[in-house]
Amino acid sequence: MTRDRLGRGVAALALPAMLTGCVQLSAPEKPIEINLNINIRQEVVVRLQEDVNKLIEDNPGVF
């Protein structure tokens, strides 16, 4: 290929890229809110149950 043909080929490939639409990104007006509803009840109940079992074992006459 000659330089002239190469230049035309590059220009032919670049032209459609220059004519495509523009992509715009913008931040939302309101802040993004992430709502995490986490249920920790099960872990607390298990820990309390272990503590109660240990307390009963240590003091069998109280209960």
pLDDT digits (tens, 9 = 90+) for 12-44: 676 666 666 777 888 889 998 888 887 766 666
Please give the Cα distance from 56 to 54 (Å, whole number).
Answer: 5
**Residue 24 within any structural domain of the chain:** yes
Residue with tokens 């509803």: 37
Residue 63 lies in a domain: no
Within-domain flag for 10: yes
The tally of domains found in the chain comes to: 1
Classify 16 in phi/psi space as left (phi over 0), alpha (psi -120 to 50) or beta: alpha
pTM for the whole thing? 0.30
- pLDDT higher than 60, residue 1: no
Q: Which structural domain range is residue 40 located in?
A: 2-58
Q: In terms of C-beta distances under 8 Å and separation of at least 24 residues, what long-range contacts does 35-43 make, across chains too?
A: none
| Residues, the chain | 63
